Amino acid sequence: MKTELARMTWKEAEEALSARPVALLPVGSLEQNGPQCPLATDTLVADHFARRVAEATGSLLLPPIGYGCSQAFQGFAGTISLHPETLARVVADVLGGLRRQGVEHVLVVNNHGPNEGAIEQAIRELRARSGGVFAIVWPSQVLQQMAAASLPAFEQVRGHGGEPMTSVMLAIAPDAVRMDLAAAGRLSDLGAFQVEASMRARFRKHPLNLCVDIDQVSASGITGDPTGASAQRGAPLLEQLVAWGIELVRAFRAVAPGQR
């Protein structure tokens, strides 16, 4: 049975939609993920997760949205960013099209954190007009939690362009990863502020958001250490993630529209 909407004829789509499936919409970004990982890392992981979960659950897989809100990384070659309003509008139009065709349950597989505000805005506005059941899942965030229990010295290797994403990419698309360019990295302090990410910093141990552009505090864009990454590390994490996603979709499908 086909699960990819883009590969269906309209007659096949009509039949698939009549079963009132859960729809999965992958959303990613085109941005730096360290010197060793491809610009489409977020999108590739979102699509891989959504594809496998859709196949296992008979859900409807939509083509991925491969651009996101990547303003903090625009100082690195190849990064292309959308304004949050643009992303919100595109997501709203896609979800609105699904609702008009009777789809009630939509899981947005967003694999780039800064996209979430725009996506949530689109969902809330559409749900107020048209109803439906919506959720957003961030696969990389789930992977971080799973990896914390299995990777040695995880706090030293975790981060953007670090682990576990480099190992996961080696399991998904090894030809796209340049391990010869992999190197450990960390973000520099900005004066008295300890920068942890584009939206996270600390001043005297307490958190705040400095809205930092990453090229201000890093030449490589990496936080963490990808040098020990391997497909052997990434593959079990992927299997664990997909198994969790299958359970998620089955539980999500059981939520009735309008249920609080």
Residue 117: give the domain boundaries: 5-151+234-253
Model pLDDT for residues 99-141, shown as the tens digit of each residue = 999 999 999 999 999 999 999 999 999 999 999 999 999 999 9
The predicted structure's pLDDT at residue 260: 47
Total tally of structural domains belonging to the chain: 1
Query: Looking at the domain assignment, is residue 174 inside a domain?
Result: no
Query: Looking at the domain assignment, is residue 216 inside a domain?
Result: no
Query: Looking at the domain assignment, is residue 53 inside a domain?
Result: yes
User: Rounded mean pLDDT of 29-49?
Assistant: 98
Query: Looking at the domain assignment, is residue 191 inside a domain?
Result: no
Query: Looking at the domain assignment, is residue 224 inside a domain?
Result: no
End-to-end CA distance of the chain: 33
Query: Looking at the domain assignment, is residue 183 inside a domain?
Result: no
Per-residue pLDDT for 259 more than 60? no
* CATH number reported for the structural domain that contains residue 123 in this entry: 3.40.50.10310
Query: Looking at the domain assignment, is residue 169 inside a domain?
Result: no
Q: What share of the chain is helix, strand, coil (3-state, %, to 5)?
A: 45, 15, 35
Query: Looking at the domain assignment, is residue 227 inside a domain?
Result: no
CB atoms within 10 A of CB 234: 23
> How far apart (Å, rounded) are the C-alpha atoms in residues 46 and 43?
5
State the pLDDT confidence band at 186, using cuts at 50, 70 and 90.
very high
State the pLDDT confidence band at 1, using cuts at 50, 70 and 90.
confident
b/e sequence 52-81, b meaning 16+ C-beta within 10 Å: bbbbebebbbbebbbbbbbbbbeebeebeb
> How far apart (Å, rounded) are the C-alpha atoms in residues 179 and 166?
9
